[in-house]
Amino acid sequence: MNNENLKTIVRDKYSEIANQSREQNQSSCCGAGGCSTVDYTIFSEDYTALKGYNADADLGLGCGLPTEFALIKEGNMVVDLGSGAGNDAFVAREITGPTGKVLGLDMTPAMIEKARENADKLGFNNVEFRLGDIEAMPIGGNQADVVVSNCVLNLVPDKKKAFSEIFRILKPGGHFSISDVVVQGQLPDGLRNDAEMYAGCVAGAILKDDYLELIRQAGFKGIQVQKERAIQIPDDILANYLSAEEIRQIREGQVGIFSINVYGEKPTESCCEPGCCS
């Protein structure tokens, strides 16, 4: 599959999810769509205690709580990549307040429509949702104080380009806080080659060390993993892709799938593009 095919798969799947409620996603046999082999809610964490939480915007698609670690300040300009129905954007807006701005970017028109409807119901005039590709963001350079993203970068085929774009849109001295899925060890071919598992955040995940190296190559400093937790995918889902021996290897820790929250800063003095001063 080439990059454009992968994007089409993700866009189609998340269009389907956008038209279902969180309850529908959870009550269907295996997650989004009823006949899906992936449960999209396995990765998610509980948002309900966070200020700014809006149940209509929570489709259970994240794998962390990036705003919890994002050091957002009142008046900040925050960009949420892969903003979905607006869940993280609305939590960020609660922190940045009416004097700040939150821009949500998503490549799925159905998600943009749903997020805009939610923003209208809440009466927010400083939250914008924009259709666009993370690999080529329709956002000017040096605009954002903070970038957040929740379980989305693993869905981007060209992660190097994505981190370069994050670097570009951040102001000097700005930072990101991203929740994402990474792996340790070599994923079995059955997972890595399946389009459904790509859209479900697993097949698109890369090695943790490679992920952090891409961030370094983009020019970021002060990189740290703020939180890490193992993802436990039920055997009945894995059995659609793996042999009993491959499942055993995952259970014994030879291959691990993890949610991480990672932080990085754009240097205050940057001569031009990432890497040009090295």
151-178 per-position pLDDT tens digit: 999 999 999 999 999 999 999 999 999 9
- Residues β-bridged to residue 228: 260
Considering the segment(s) 3-181+207-231+259-265 as one domain, its CATH architecture is 3-Layer(aba) Sandwich (3.40)
If you average pLDDT over residues 178-182, what whole number do you get?
96
Amino acid at 85: A
Q: Structural domain boundaries of the chain?
A: 3-181+207-231+259-265
Q: Are strands 170-184 and 256-265 parallel, antiparallel or unpaired?
A: antiparallel
pLDDT at residue 272 greater than cutoff 80 = no
Distance CA(127)–CA(129), nearest Å, equals: 7
Q: Provide the token pair at 190.
A: 């059955």
CA distances from 219 to 71, 117, 140, 260, 268 (A): 20, 37, 18, 20, 11
Residue 153: helix, strand or coil by DSSP? helix
pLDDT at residue 118 greater than cutoff 70 = yes
**Radius of gyration, CA atoms only, the chain:** 18
Digit-coded pLDDT (tens) for 70-113: 999 999 999 999 999 999 999 999 999 999 999 999 999 999 99
pLDDT at residue 197 greater than cutoff 60 = yes
Instruction: Note the pTM of the prediction, 2 decimals.
Output: 0.89
Residue 257: helix, strand or coil by DSSP? strand
The alpha carbon dihedral of 22, 23, 24, 25 has a sign of positive
